[in-house]
Every structure is written in structure tokens, then in C-alpha cells.
Amino acid sequence: MKTLTTLLLAITPALLWAEPPRLPNPLEEIGVDKYGKRAADALRLYAPVVAEARLSTAQVFSKEGNKRLAMATVVSDQGYLITKASEVVGSKELVVTLAKSPLAPGGLRMNAKVVDTYRPYDLALLKVEVSGLRPVVFSKDEAVLGTFLAATGLEDTPITYGVVSVKTRNLDDANKGFLGVGLKSSEAGLEIESVSERSAAFDAGLKAKDIVLKLNGTMVASVEEFIRTVGSCKPTEKIQIRIKRANEEKDIDAILRRRGDVPDAMRRFEDPRNLMSGALSEHRTGFPAALQHDLFLKPFECGGPLVNLDGHVVGINIAHSGRTESLAIPSATVVTLLKDVGDGKFFHPETEELEKSKSNLEAEIKRLDALETRLKKDLEDIAKKLEGIIGK
């Protein structure tokens, strides 16, 4: 009796040994977004999450080219919105489009103008001549690590979604010293790979291929340690770098600068892998407080609300800063900056500290004036006593 295998081989040899038919590749037919953070099926699940904040979200266009510049967030019913300043400032005319709503089934499209900016957070305050807009409600709670988030747009579904990856931190490097070198670890040691023009390193005479031996008299073993040590110094502070150039060792003094004083410094030394996900925001660092998440946002998609799964607005997206990194200004910070929004301007938190310092100095001047008056009187009394003694 023939076995089943023998029987099958005799009947359908082509069926058994022919190459299996090629199944359609869903990536080719549908695109990678079916499996990414912009997959339509996944975004639809987030629709209830952005339902409220979407009504306070807008898109900013340049009127001359009808080009998308940034997202915006309604912050006052009197026609004020905030957006990313570096993306909109400089455009001659701006147009704002709001999402469709029960009050505006066709959406709203109106002219807008920049009335104020706040450079530390790269924010611009826009004004449209329409009242009755729906301002966003900012959450009082900070988003914690691992919290799921969504970026609102004009559609019923979000732009994309993701999670909080790094808690709020200060990215302002204004008070950190900057040398201006690119480093790498080599067999010879810590090697200077590149020197930024017009930087402290350039002015001090450091050159590519120099080997760093010591920094301020202490050996440095890694790039991270070098960066951390330089960053702990202040701008205008002098540091000493001992290097080996060819077969000669020498000490070089450098006066540190601020990072912002060196044109395109960060762009020159930026990890090229950051560009693998597309264009990054021009202004993407230096914020005094920033929440980091992994939502993939294009530069013109920054400026809108960032919400958690309860639909609460936990921040304003402000920059796409790396391959898997985007930044948002926490809601608590935004609320502080909007204290004076009714007057058509941002509130500057630093003014409180300056006013306090001014008040303290004025009080000290009064104290010193009173002390001077008292000392003058004491001096006059002593002079009279001396005169009386000498006279005797």
C-alpha cells in the first residue's frame, strides 16, 4: 500500500514543490503609517482624547504662500492664541484656521498678527479680530514618565501619539560655558575632531587632531566628562587645557563663551542620526523648562496642545528636537506666562525677581543714607569735642 506521501507526490508534484505564491505586502499597499504612530486605526482610538482640546487648536499659514507654518492654541476668548515664534515671526501676513465646531461648521479662517513674543520659550502671541473663541483649559497636574499623550490638530483624530520620555528639566545653557569643539575617543586619547569658527576654542588656537590630556589640571577620560566639566564653568571664565600636538605637549588658555554666541555651533556638532526622522525645528533647545516626549512632530506641527488620555492639556508642543525627541512647555509654565494675556502681552516671570532685587537695593540705599546721616552727626559731635579740648 502506497504511503500518503507517495500518493501525493504522484498526484500533485507541482503543488508540493512549486514556490509558494507571493502574498501581497501590506507595507507596499498601505504604507508604513499603518504600523506607525500615525496609523489611522490607532489614531481613531484617540479621537475622544482630543475632542475638547481640538476646538481650541488652530493652524497658522503664511498668507502670501498659503504655507503651513505652525500650530496654535487659543488662550483667550478675546482672540488671543499662542504659537511657536521662530516659525511665524518674519512672515508678512498670517492666516489662522480653526477646527470645525458646532458654532462654525465650516471652520474659521481669519487674518492674524503677532502682538508679542517671549524669546526664552520661543512663543508668539497672536491676535485675531474675533471674540468668543474657545480657550484651552490647562491642567494643573504635571505629566509623569510613561504617561500616554496625543498632539491635537484640526481633525477629529490627533496628529500623533506617544509617551512622556523625560520629566520636565531646564535646557537653558545661557549660564553654561561653551568651548566649541567636537571630540571623539581615539587610540591616542580624547581627540579634538573639529573646532567651531569664532568660538573660544578657535580664538585660543585649538586645532583638529589635538589630543586633550588635562582640563584645569585634571585628567579627563571621556567626552561626557569633558562636556560636563566645561558646562560647569561660567561664560567668560578662563580654563586651561593641556594638549598634545604632534610630539609636543603644551598648555592653552581659553575664555569660554555662551553657546548662543557661536553661530550654528549646535548644528555643526549635532548627531547626524537626529536628521534620520526628517527636518528638526530651527529653535529646539535652551528652554528654561521643557517636557520631553517621543511624539514624532514636524516643525510646522509645533505650537498646539499636548493632552493626556483624560483629554487634559499638559503642555504646548514647542519643538521637534531629535530623531525620537520632541519638547513641550509644561502647562504650569504656560499659565504663568499668560497672566497678562488680557493686555495683549506675555508676563515675564523674571520681572518679579528683578523687582524684588530693585526693592532690596532701594531699601539698602535708604539704610546707607540714614547711616551716613548718623555718622556725619557723630563726626560733627566728635569735632566739637576735639575743638573744646584743644581750646582748653
- Please list the alpha-helical segments (H only) found in the chain: 4-11, 13-17, 26-30, 40-45, 47-50, 85-88, 200-204, 223-231, 265-269, 331-337, 350-391
151-165, 179-193, 266-280, 308-322: the lowest-pLDDT one: 266-280
Confidence of residue 325 (pLDDT cuts 50, 70, 90): very high
pLDDT in tens, 353-388: 777 778 878 888 988 899 999 999 999 989 888 888
- Statement: residue 107 has pLDDT above 70: yes
For position 255, what pLDDT does the model report? 92
- Statement: residue 264 has pLDDT above 60: no
For position 279, what pLDDT does the model report? 86
- Statement: residue 4 has pLDDT above 80: no
For position 85, what pLDDT does the model report? 97
In terms of Cα–Cα distance, which of 92, 89, 50, 46 is closest to 70?
89
The predicted model gives 14-30 an average pLDDT of 41
The predicted model gives 207-232 an average pLDDT of 91
Confidence of residue 273 (pLDDT cuts 50, 70, 90): low
Residues 6+ apart with CB under 8 A from 3: none
Cell of 305: 496642545
Task: Tell me the average pLDDT of the chain.
Answer: 85
Greater confidence (100 vs 336) lies with 336
Percentage of residues in the chain with pLDDT exceeding 70? 85
Greater confidence (177 vs 138) lies with 138
For position 254, what pLDDT does the model report? 93
The three-class DSSP label of residue 64 is coil
- Statement: residue 37 has pLDDT above 70: yes
The predicted model gives 261-272 an average pLDDT of 56
Cα–Cα distance, 343 to 74 (Å, whole number):
15
For position 301, what pLDDT does the model report? 96
pTM assigned to the model: 0.68
For position 111, what pLDDT does the model report? 95
For position 28, what pLDDT does the model report? 42
DSSP state of 166: E
Cα–Cα distance, 126 to 135 (Å, whole number):
13
Pairing of β 290-293 and β 248-255: unpaired
pLDDT in tens, 52-88: 999 999 999 998 768 999 999 999 999 999 999 999 9
For position 156, what pLDDT does the model report? 93
CA distances from 343 to 19, 75, 123, 172, 262 (A): 74, 13, 16, 28, 36
Confidence of residue 8 (pLDDT cuts 50, 70, 90): very low
Report residue 61: phi and psi, to 5°: -120, 155
What residue type is 293 in one-letter code? H
